[in-house]
């Protein structure tokens, strides 16, 4: 961390403690917030302008993904942040970021095409490892079988058995 960043953090903590806006230190912050009403009004205007123009709400010069309010970089950042909060290491998060950036639109489990933005980042909760990008159905199946390959195989066998009896 650079010295400038550290001093800004310390200054911002002091402003928050005293109930002042971090951008306008002579103005009181709105109760429970770190910004004054002037800052909040500006943020609201930027947000509304971005939504109307189909621009990212965090990067006003970047187009948002179709039907979304964020650009792909923000959506990837959000997914990586969630993986960090779940306890994955920096190396695993780096692998996930690369996989998301180079995503080809196909589920790595069932090989079905997934619309952009509908993919799920699959990870092992016990080993804290990133496994791949999968569709909603595969993610649900893996989760409902408690990530047990034996249970998934048993379910596949069950389906195959009943498909054979129906066609006969």
Average pLDDT over residues 66-73: 82
Can you give the residue ranges of every domain in the chain?
3-52, 72-151
The full 3-state SS of 85-132, as one line of letters, equals: HCCCCHHHHHHHHHHHHCCCCECCCCCCECCCCCCEEEEECCCCEEEE
Q: Greater confidence, 1 or 163? A: 163
Mind listing the pLDDT tens digit for each residue in 3-42? Answer: 566 677 777 777 778 888 888 888 888 877 888 999 999 8
- 8 A C-beta contact, residue 114 and residue 108: no
Per the structure block, which two tokens stand in for 109?
């489990």
Q: How confident is the model at residue 61 (pLDDT cuts 50, 70, 90)?
A: confident
Q: How far apart are CA 133 and CA 38, in angstroms?
A: 42
Q: What are phi and psi of 122, to 5 degrees?
A: -85, 135
Residue owning tokens 């993610």: 139
- Is the model more confident about 115 or about 50? 115
Q: What is the CATH number of domain 72-151?
A: 3.40.1800.10
Classify 28 as helix, strand or coil.
Answer: strand
Contact 24, 34 (CB under 8 A): no
Condensed to tens digits (0 to 9), the pLDDT of residues 70-122 reads 888 898 999 999 999 999 999 999 999 999 999 999 999 999 999 877 899 99
Integer CA distances (angstroms), 85 to 39, 70, 113, 119, 128, in order: 29, 20, 28, 19, 11
User: What is residue 106's predicted lDDT score, i.e. its pLDDT?
Assistant: 95
């Amino acid at each position: 961390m650079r010295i400038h960043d550290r001093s800004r953090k310390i200054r911002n903590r002091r402003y928050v403690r005293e109930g002042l806006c971090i951008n306008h230190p002579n103005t009181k912050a709105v109760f429970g917030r770190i910004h004054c009403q002037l800052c909040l009004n500006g943020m609201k205007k930027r947000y509304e302008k971005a939504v109307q123009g189909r621009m990212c709400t965090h990067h006003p010069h970047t187009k948002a993904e179709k039907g979304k309010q964020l650009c792909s970089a923000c959506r990837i950042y959000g997914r990586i942040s969630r993986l960090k909060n779940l306890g994955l290491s920096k190396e695993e998060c780096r692998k996930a970021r690369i996989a998301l950036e180079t995503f080809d639109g196909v589920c790595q489990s069932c090989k079905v095409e997934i619309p952009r933005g509908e993919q799920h980042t699959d990870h092992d909760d016990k080993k804290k490892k990133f496994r791949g990008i999968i569709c909603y159905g595969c993610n649900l199946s893996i989760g409902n079988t408690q990530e047990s390959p034996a249970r998934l195989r048993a379910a596949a066998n069950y389906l195959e058995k009943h498909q054979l009896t129906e066609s006969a």
